[in-house]
Amino acid sequence: MLRLLASGCARGPGPGDDSSFGRFGPRRIREESVMLRTVNPSTGALPFQSLMVADLGDVNVNLYNLQDSCRRIQEAYEKIVAAGCIPLTLGGDHTITYPILQAVAKKHGPVGLLHVDAHTDTADEALGEKLYHGAPFRRCVDEGLLDCKRVAQIGIRGYSTTLDPYRYNRSQGFRVVLAEDCWMKSLVPLMAEVRQQMGGKPIYISFDIDALDPAYAPGTGTPEIAGLTPGQALEIIRGCQGLNVVGCDLVEVSPPYDLSGNTALLAANLLFEMLCALPKVTTV
């Protein structure tokens, strides 16, 4: 069975901040991926010996119409998923996860979600728009795409306009793990709990690079201080090995803010770790 690395969904101009620069992310991540090898000695994973892996290039989006871009992404991923592929997506801003999950849920039904991010991305609207990078998971809840009791959000932090910014998420049954609850500790015990929460049913992994502290990943549109470390990011992804992962994405890499290229390099490595954690990858 083919396992697919499908990369490069972008969006056009929309409300919000400078995350539209995320459209340059896939190309930069590809450039940094040339340093990757084929074996993961730390986990013993042999992804390229276990699976067929292909880069399908970018989805042809409409840079002037966000709704049409989402339609195009959904249709492209419906074909990918129907072919028996597990998509690993290079973003692009976080809007893209919504149409991808529309396609994934069409095959698998409501899925569990491991969402690693500085932000919950469950706002209802911005400047009158309900479709933007701060609202993808609100739209997913609205459409019944998520198995809400199997949603875990890790690394959440930042200032807010209300004293209880996570009320909506917890009311839906999400597990919200704040970044401050992760400071200076291993996340292996947390991932053991998350694995139990997810069980054997389908799970989707969505990783926003701003989950990491901007000291490690400055190249993103909405950085927040006091985030996760790269080591903790590896613990999270490696903690998914053996789960029924049906898709992954890594989003919000913004090359104009990534002068050293470190953010894209980190993104490429995290995507390789996701590839290593897919079902049926041989480990030795």
Q: Tell me, what's the pLDDT at 5?
A: 43
Contact between 150 and 112 (Cβ < 8 Å):
yes
Residue 283 falls inside a structural domain? no
Sequence-ordered list of residues with C-beta below 8 angstroms from that of 2, at least 6 positions apart, any chain: 51, 52, 54, 83, 84, 85
pLDDT in tens, 8-40: 443 333 333 455 688 899 999 999 999 999 999
Q: Is the pLDDT confidence value at 4 over 80?
A: no
Q: What is the CATH number of the domain that holds 258?
A: 3.40.800.10
For range 176-186, the mean pLDDT: 98
Q: For position 20, what pLDDT does the model report?
A: 66
Give the separation between CA 24 and CA 8, rounded to whole angstroms.
Answer: 9
Q: Annotation-wise, does 94 bind a ligand?
A: yes
Residue 183, in any domain of the structure: yes
Is residue 171, in this structure, part of any structural domain at all?
Answer: yes
Q: Is 121 annotated to bind ligand? A: yes
**Residue 140: which domain range?**
2-277
Residue type, 111: V
| Residue 115 is labelled as binding a ligand | no
| Residue 108 assigned ligand-binding role | no
**Cβ atoms 9, 59 nearer than 8 A:** yes
> What is the number of structural domains in the chain?
1
Residue 119 assigned ligand-binding role: yes
Residue 21 has a pLDDT of: 80
Global pTM?
0.94
142 is in an annotated binding site: no
Distance CA 234, CA 249 (A): 15
Is residue 145 one of the residues assigned to a domain? yes
The answer to whether residue 252 is domain-embedded is: yes
What is the b/e burial string over 102-114, where b = at least 16 CB atoms within 10 angstroms of the residue's CB? Answer: bbbbeebebbbbb
